[in-house]
Amino acid sequence: MILAGLQKNSFIDFPGKISCVLFVTGCNFICPYCHNADLARGEYPARFELTAIIDFLKSRRGMLEGVAITGGEPTLDRGIVDLCRAVKALGYPVKLDTNGSRPGVLRQLISEHLVDFIAMDIKAPLHDYSPFSRNPTIHEQMTASIRTIMESAPAYEFRTTCAAPFINGTTVEAIAKSIEGAACYVLQPFNRRAACLDPEFNQKQDPGLSADEMQRLKPRAAPFVKRCVIR
Instruction: Give the domain CATH number at 141.
Output: 3.20.20.70
Q: Are 104 and 131 in contact (CB under 8 A)?
A: no
Number of domains in the chain: 1
- Residue 200 pLDDT grade (very low, low, confident, very high; cuts 50, 70, 90): confident
Judged against a pLDDT cut of 90, whether residue 206 lies above it is answered with: no
pTM of this structure = 0.96
Secondary structure element (H or E) that encloses residue 70, with its range: strand 66-70
Query: Is 15:157 a contact under the CB 8 Å cutoff?
Result: yes
Report percent pLDDT > 70 for the chain. 98
> Which range of residues forms the domain containing residue 172?
2-230
20-40 pLDDT per residue, tens: 999 999 999 999 999 899 999
**170 - beta bridge partners?**
none
Distances (CA, A) of 211 to 32, 38, 215: 22, 29, 6
pLDDT(192) > 80: no
Write out pLDDT tens, residues 141-190.
999 999 999 999 999 999 999 999 999 999 999 999 999 999 999 999 99
